[in-house]
Amino acid sequence: MKKSLLALAVLGAFATGAQAQTNVSIGGVVQANLKSYKVSSTARVANNELRVDDDYNSRFWLTGTEDLGGGLSALFYVENRFNTDQRQSTGGATGAGLADGDTFVGLKGGFGQVTVGKHSWMSVQGLAAEFVSASGNLVSMPTSMTATYSIMNQGGGYLDITRRVNSITYRTPVISGFNGAFGVSTASAGAEGVIGGGNQYNDGREYYLQGGYNNGPLSLSLAYRDFTAEGRAAGATDDSQLRFTGSYKFGGFKVGLIADRAKREAVGGGDSSRTAWSIPVSYAFGNSTILASVTKAGDLSLGHAGLAAVAGANTGAKMYTLGYDHALSKRTNVGVFYSRLDNDARGIYQPFLAGTSFTGSGLLAGETASTFALGVKHTF
């Protein structure tokens, strides 16, 4: 008995010491939505789905810092993702559990911040303009209705929709509203040291560069990524993207602009590029926010020798979103939203992660997806 009490006392001493050294906090977002999801098509029978989804991908995180003295601190961030509507073992569930979100450890000081692990880079550039209301609230809209995920991160297939693994990120200190970031991933697709087809080895890389200004009503950002696939297996692609994001607030109004230029170089040829833009607007009054956006993806321009320019015709898409969000408190929001993603005759854009438990059925070329959703979100 005395030995047990002694062991508990020792463990308690260690725990107390750890708490004294590191400040640890927990936070998170839990969201769910009820949807009517309709696919309109001329090639197959129209599909109507009544769904319960979590296409924000609910999450909770642990953060911690330790003062190392001399203005230097250690830090960590661990983000755990889950689905409110699915068991994690369900096929197609998008939340994979422990540390599936951004997760990193590093140091910060007067020089800025350096972290190593998994980081969100280009995939989230634009969300602040369309997902954050003029009042600063994170709205309860499904992410499949955002231009960032459903148009900007796509172009002849998905370009960048996830955090970059095997990565290191440096973020500058904020000086008079100006900030910057630089990142390198040694293999952002996950597997390192992959031998491609025909024993052709290529050591893949991704580079990310971002600069921004955020002061008062004006927010501006310009980001660039350059991705080279690990290995040269058939189907591999090298991507580059340049994305501008800006927003301006006046009174309760907020007007934004997102513009993206993407290029994809496929192994064996068939290179393509496309330009897309979106104009999100919102108006906040009291605890309510009305929001809308218009988005357009241009045709794919095919640059492979021997292909006629007309080969990329009718490969674009248009997207419209309209919604109303109401803050019941500082932490709880409810809302009603409508979106329509309309592909041109040969366009293949998708509501974010369509074809999984996240959103609804995937689209064939030329199809349209219309979504009506009731959402609820709680932040803690």
Half-sphere exposure of 14 (CA within 13 A, CB side): 5
pTM: 0.88
- C-alpha 173/C-alpha 79 separation (Å) is 23
- C-alpha 96/C-alpha 330 separation (Å) is 28
Assign 3-state DSSP to the chain and report helix, strand, coil percentages, each to 5.
10, 50, 35
Per-residue pLDDT of the chain (380 residues; tens, 9 = 90+): 444 444 434 334 434 444 446 799 999 999 999 999 999 987 777 678 999 999 888 999 999 999 999 999 999 999 999 888 887 766 555 666 788 899 999 999 999 999 999 999 999 999 999 988 777 778 999 999 999 999 999 987 888 888 898 999 999 999 999 999 999 998 766 566 655 555 556 678 899 999 999 999 999 999 999 998 877 676 778 899 999 999 999 989 999 999 999 998 887 777 889 999 999 999 999 999 999 999 999 999 876 443 444 457 899 999 999 999 999 998 999 999 999 999 999 999 999 989 888 888 999 999 999 999 999 999 99
How do the domains of the chain map onto residue ranges?
40-52+108-379
CATH class of 40-52+108-379: mainly beta
Task: Mark residue 309 as left, alpha or beta (left: phi above 0; alpha: psi -120 to 50; beta: remaining).
Answer: alpha
Single-letter code of the amino acid located at 154: Q
- Name the H helices within the chain: 2-21, 127-131, 147
- C-alpha 80/C-alpha 126 separation (Å) is 23
- C-alpha 308/C-alpha 298 separation (Å) is 17
